[in-house]
Amino acid sequence: MNFLHGCVLLCVLASSLALSAEDVTLLQKEVEVARGPGKSWNSMSTRSLVDLPEVSKDPEVGRFGGMPIKVGEGSGFFRTQKIKGRWWLIDPEGRLYIHKAVNSVRTISSRGAREYFKSEFGSMSQWASVTSSLLHDTGFNGIGAWCDYKSLKPASNNLSYTKLWSFMAKYGNKRGGTYQKPGHTGYPEDCPFIFDPEFPVFCMEYASALAETKDDPWLIGHFTDNELPWRIDMLDNYLNLHEEDHGHIAAAKFLAERHGPNASEKDITEDDREDFLAFAVDTYYNAVCPAIRHHDPNHLILGSRFHGRAMKIPRLFEAAGKHLDVVSVNYYHAWTPDAELLTSWSEKSGKPVIITEWYAKAMDSGLENTSGAGWLVKTQRDRAAFYQNFTLGLLESRVCVGWHWFRYSDNDPTEKGVDPSNLDANKGIVTNRYEPYGVLVDHMRDINSRTLGIIRYFDGADSWPTSSED
């Protein structure tokens, strides 16, 4: 690390120590936001930490950075538990835990970034050390999907982590017929190959790689895929496939069993559509989850990161909850989390929720910000306001056990071969030359380092768990 980068990081660290209540008040009550460049700007009511009574910083306890309240002997791995109406992760030591993480914590592959990396860090170990320190100082206790967890060495740097396996996407790559869509894999007619008889066989073979980390206590759990196209009209879509396609055969059989051998699409009811969606969910998770449990019985299954229209389908969450330990959602197009929607996800599934993608991008970054689903705002301080507003809503919900900000670094427009959703947007807590956004990380830290106190405020004394150490 050269002198300049060291000074940048030290300034960020120093600002955290000097941060005062007066700094917090600088976050706006109203923030101007837009869906993207050229879209209309609208004012959004925004809540921040200053709107709560003064909350002290959480004490740091335990090997895994869990909270001071211990609710029993640790199992040696992360688990979930609902206590007095609130869902929690429980860390391997038995302590209450909320996973605060960042996605895509890895190096940038563009030529300019590689040159900068060489001059600023010199080695992967130095980058990992600086990056882990930045995450810890900002109050994050883990890393999310698409992270270089091997370089970051979670056990050495006290960062819990998750892994994304992409069972269906990997099977599709092997089978053929998939294509790239912004943010995820595309399938013919939005129909994943759930009903292929070869898919369960592939899952069991593919999941053998999970054995490598099955005894790692720092691993929280596994995502099965990212943003599969769960839609209420899946029955219609599968029927549109070629008659010899296994998905078409399964849909036709389903429809015939309900309406007779001569049934057609005109006979489909909304109940049929909901029931077929649940059938598809069962079929997918019945292939994936037993394969995971067979090769790794110790860690949580975190789902396939629901998104878009899927978030508004209660039957989807009901069906998925039979198989998962935690329901994961990539939550876009909401400035403030919908409390009723969050509650419904948990009630329908019977499981806690983790928000696995969300972010805002700012005009003052110098990037075009044409790609990506996050909100467009004007300044880094607006991004900070969004972070505080959104996380306060998640903590108030009593069903959310963590969040993963998307992502570690800004997009680099010169990087080749990237997903179309990651071309030119200000998504990172650092620039595409690894420089931290000081205002953003300062206000992220304010929330991240006071999670326990914020939850105590929202829940009240009567709803607070009793520690086994009391």
What is the full per-residue pLDDT of the chain (470 aa) written as tens digits? 443 344 444 444 444 333 334 444 468 899 999 999 999 999 999 999 999 999 999 987 789 988 889 998 899 999 999 999 999 999 999 999 999 999 999 999 999 999 999 999 999 999 999 999 999 999 999 999 999 999 999 989 999 999 999 999 999 999 999 999 998 999 999 999 999 999 999 999 999 999 999 999 999 999 999 999 999 999 999 999 999 999 999 999 999 999 999 999 999 999 999 999 999 999 999 999 999 999 999 999 999 999 999 999 999 999 999 999 999 999 999 999 999 999 999 999 999 999 999 999 999 999 999 999 999 999 999 999 999 999 999 999 999 999 999 999 999 999 999 999 999 999 999 999 999 999 999 999 999 999 999 999 999 977 778 765 53
Distance between alpha carbon 233 and the CA centroid of its chain, in Å? 25
Cα–Cα distance for residue pair 135/141, rounded to 1 Å:
7
Calculate the CA dihedral of residues 164, 168, 173, 178 and round it to 10 degrees.
-120
Cα–Cα distance for residue pair 245/248, rounded to 1 Å:
5
Residue 255's pLDDT is: 97
Question: What domains, with CATH codes, occur in the chain?
Answer: 3-164+326-463 (3.20.20.80)
Helices 270-295 and 246-259, packing angle to 10 deg: 130
Cα–Cα distance for residue pair 86/462, rounded to 1 Å:
12
Cα–Cα distance for residue pair 292/301, rounded to 1 Å:
8
Q: Are the beta carbons of 299 and 214 closer than 8 angstroms?
A: yes
Q: Report which of 124, 158, 162, 125 is spatially closest to residue 140, judged by C-alpha positions.
A: 158
Q: Report which of 287, 299, 295, 290 is spatially closest to residue 208, judged by C-alpha positions.
A: 295
Q: Are the beta carbons of 301 and 331 closer than 8 angstroms?
A: no
Residue 257 makes CB contacts below 8 A (sequence gap 6+) with none
Query: Which residue matches tokens 């071309």?
Result: 423
Q: Following DSSP, what letter does each residue of 168-201 receive, concatenated? A: HHHHHHHHS--EEETTEEE-GGG--STT-THHHH
Question: Position 173: which residue type?
Answer: N
Residue 467's pLDDT is: 67
Q: Which segments of 7-52 are extended strands (E)? A: 30-33, 42-45
Cα–Cα distance for residue pair 316/348, rounded to 1 Å:
9
